[in-house]
Every structure is written in structure tokens, then in C-alpha cells.
Amino acid sequence: MEAEPPRSVDMLRAGDCEIALAFRYEAAPEWDDLVARPLLTDRLVGLVPEGHPFADADEVDIGTLAEEPWIAGCPRCRRHLVQVCEAAGFTPRIDFATDDYPAVVGLVGAGLGVAVLPELAVESVRPKGTRPVRLGPEVRREVVALTLPDLAQVPAVSAMLDRLAAAAHR
């Protein structure tokens, strides 16, 4: 099954799956009842159109993008983006909203705005007409495998957690 957190976590708790892959930007107290196996840390990067003034920059302070139109995810998905922008002193003007990474890349490539995406997503989409740029201050998310404490003792679940951790470190 494929689901974003928090739905995937709800499915795990309901017994619909044994393991949920999820991400968090900071400690997630709502997961205190779960076993969390850290898999990897994924940096978020800015995505700007080719030809943008910051397209060739080594690093961009997110505050310098304050006046740009933004492409972001659904309201729940963009919560962290809004928090990061507000910490930099601005509220992003979100002109387009989609949770589809290829659509975000297409909109940025068409020059319709800028975005912040996980580096893993940018690498997997191979963005044409766009340039990923490192953000300052650096923003990261932790990708984890979650399971219930009782399930963590099941040999097949434990083995899968080990395999996921090994694959993430390749």
C-alpha cells in the first residue's frame, strides 16, 4: 500500500500493514508508541527554473526567495515549508499546489514559480528546465521505518527492517 504520513501511520496502528515508511522534520511525539528505525536523512533543496537569477548559486538563503511565486503541496504537506519560510521572515505566496513531484518540476520548469523538494525526489525525477540549489539554512528530513513494538519482535518484520536499513545505506 502507498500512503503519506499520517495516513500510513494510521494504517499501521489499525493493523492494515506491519511497517510504514514515513518522514519527519523534527521529533514526532505522536510516534512515541511506535518503534522507529532511522533509514536516512534527506536534504531539502530549492528548485528554480533555468535562467533564474539563483540558478547558478552554490547556496541560496531561503529568505531571498520571499518575493517569488511558490509551488507547494497540499496544506498538510506544505506546513513545514511555511514554517521554514516564516522563520526566514516571510510567508510564501503559493500560486500552485500539487503533491505530484513531476508536476512540481514541470511547473518550475515552465517558469511558474520556485519550490522546495526532498533531494531524493529531485534526483529521481531528473528535472528538465530546472536547477536544484542548496538552501541556507539547511533543512533536512529523516526517513524512518515504523512498526508496532509487538510486531518488531516478529522475525519477518525484524528482517524487513534490517533489509530496509541496509538498502538505505547503499
Tens-place pLDDT, residues 9-41 = 999 999 999 999 998 887 667 899 999 999 999
Question: One-letter amino acid identity for 63?
Answer: G
Enumerate domains of the chain plus CATH numbers. 7-40+141-168 (no CATH), 41-139 (3.40.190.290)
Confidence class of residue 70 from pLDDT cuts 50, 70 and 90?
A: very high
Confidence class of residue 157 from pLDDT cuts 50, 70 and 90?
A: very high
Q: pTM score, two decimals?
A: 0.85
| pLDDT of 131 higher than 90 | yes
Using CA atoms, how far apart are residues 67 and 120, in angstroms rounded to an integer?
26
Using CA atoms, how far apart are residues 136 and 62, in angstroms rounded to an integer?
6
What pLDDT is attached to residue 48?
A: 97
